[in-house]
Amino acid sequence: MKVFNIAKADKNEIMTEVFKSRAIAVGSPTVSNSILSSVAGWMEFLKQLKFKNKKAAAFGCYGWSGESVKILQEQLKGAGFDVIDENIRSQWNPEEEDFAGIPALVTALIGEEEAEDEEENDSDGKSAKYQCGPCGYIYDPEKGDPDSDIAPGTAFEDLPDDWCCPVCGVSKDMFEKVK
Ligand SMILES: Cc1cc2nc3c(=O)[nH]c(=O)nc-3n(C[C@H](O)[C@H](O)[C@H](O)COP(=O)(O)O)c2cc1C
């Protein structure tokens, strides 16, 4: 499984991965009763490529009205994808119960056997390194971040929400998993 941030990644690179994949999941927050403009632009690109025989799911976060998931599902259908009903809609930031819905969504997308393989591959997720987008610093869970009292062995996911890049000071959400 590969994860991309549509707003930051090379649009053609993501599309190449869609081409190679049997299934995709696209997410967006609800913004002004719609989807994020960067996602909307990419969705138009996706439609133009007329993919066939691929499954898709939608997920998103919202504050009050939450139209993004429905809009994404409709656009994915319009782009020729076989869209599954399973979706994840998180109010504000995802909570435990939202994460709990992921296995069912993944199984509906790629089947039970492959979903289990994905889970096994992900068991090393706790040792995954993450790179800071702006400055390139790499967080290595084996080392932790002694300057911020983060003990060696702390997974990136377990860092406190207010943890910042020790080099340039940006927040956790500016980091991408190192593949
Ligand atoms: C400019 C702006 C417009 C938004 N419009 C909507 C909206 O129309 N409906 C809604 O449910 N949430 C709306 N939201 C809330 C976002 O969906 C919410 O902030 C986001 O899902 C949570 O991510 P965050 O923690 O990064 O803000 C809006 C947020 C912003 C900043």
Under-50 pLDDT residues of the chain:
none
pLDDT value of residue 114:
75
The token duo for 35 is: 């989807």
Rounded distance from Cα 2 to ligand 1 centre (Å): 25
In testing the pocket of ligand 1, which one of 28, 31, 32, 172 has its CB within 8 Å of the most ligand atoms? 31
Rounded distance from Cα 62 to ligand 1 centre (Å): 5
Element (H, E) at 77: helix 68-78
Q: Structure pTM? A: 0.71
pLDDT value of residue 57:
98
Residues with CB under 6 A from ligand 1: 29-33, 61-66, 92-93
The Cα-based distances of 166 to 5, 43, 93, 150 in angstroms read 22, 35, 24, 11
pLDDT value of residue 112:
77
